[in-house]
Amino acid sequence: MDKILVSACLLGAQVRYDGGHCLIEHPTIARWKSEGRLISVCPEVLGGLPTPRPPAEIQSRFPILVSTGDGRDFTPQYLAGAELTADIAREHNCVCALMKARSPSCGNRTTYDGNFSGTEVNAPGVSAHELIRGGIPVFNENEIEELIEFMSSRLADTASPPSAQSDNYRHGSTCG
């Protein structure tokens, strides 16, 4: 059974920086959860940060620097959390991830610019980057339909005879 790595806050765990969550209420996510497909992680907690914690943003990417508005350096915790998150994804053979948009850990497309101004930049969070680098597609909570399509394509490919799988590949399918 294909597994999906999921940001714990999206499953209702109160692990966000403010002690809250961002529970996704979607029938397919609920079904996958009941089937045991979802592997819950919070990279920031895995890295040793408490809940609640001060908000942090990526200040620099090369070299990486993640810090709070008052200058506390959380880079070691973010890097440790990213490494542990990638390890968990590999350990459970996760085929993709569903992560929290714009998070300095989990954002797959954008994160905040490091000035605490609410301005977004086109760059992934620390953990999302590590997952993507390891070949794991990362979706966010605004891309549920794309995630469902990805998973459906995988199921269709595994149910197809080998010749059909080869044909799908030749026609540019993104199936894994």
| pLDDT level of residue 170 (50, 70, 90 thresholds) | very low
Rounded to an integer, the average pLDDT of 58-77 is 98
Kind and range of the H or E element at 170? Answer: helix 162-170
**Averaged pLDDT score across all residues of the chain:** 92
- Do residues 157 and 166 make contact, with C-beta atoms less than 8 angstroms apart? no
- Do residues 155 and 175 make contact, with C-beta atoms less than 8 angstroms apart? no
Residue 158 pLDDT: 66
Which of 146, 54, 41 lies closest to 94, judged by CA? 41
% pLDDT > 70, the chain: 89
Rounded to an integer, the average pLDDT of 96-105 is 99
Domain layout of the chain by residue ranges:
3-142
Q: Taking 50 as the threshold, does the pLDDT of residue 139 lie above it?
A: yes
Cα 3 to Cα 55: distance, rounded to the nearest angstrom: 30
Summarised one tens digit per residue, pLDDT across range 8-63 is 999 999 999 999 999 999 999 999 999 999 999 999 999 999 999 999 999 999 99
Which of 115, 116, 117, 97 lies closest to 107, judged by CA? 97
Cα 97 to Cα 39: distance, rounded to the nearest angstrom: 9
Residue 156 pLDDT: 79
Q: Taking 90 as the threshold, does the pLDDT of residue 5 lie above it?
A: yes
Residue 172 pLDDT: 33
Q: Taking 50 as the threshold, does the pLDDT of residue 126 lie above it?
A: yes
Q: What is the pTM (predicted TM-score) of this model? A: 0.88
Q: Taking 50 as the threshold, does the pLDDT of residue 124 lie above it?
A: yes
Q: Taking 80 as the threshold, does the pLDDT of residue 176 lie above it?
A: no
- Do residues 107 and 99 make contact, with C-beta atoms less than 8 angstroms apart? yes
Q: Cα separations (Å) of 59 from 26, 28, 65, 83?
A: 34, 36, 5, 20
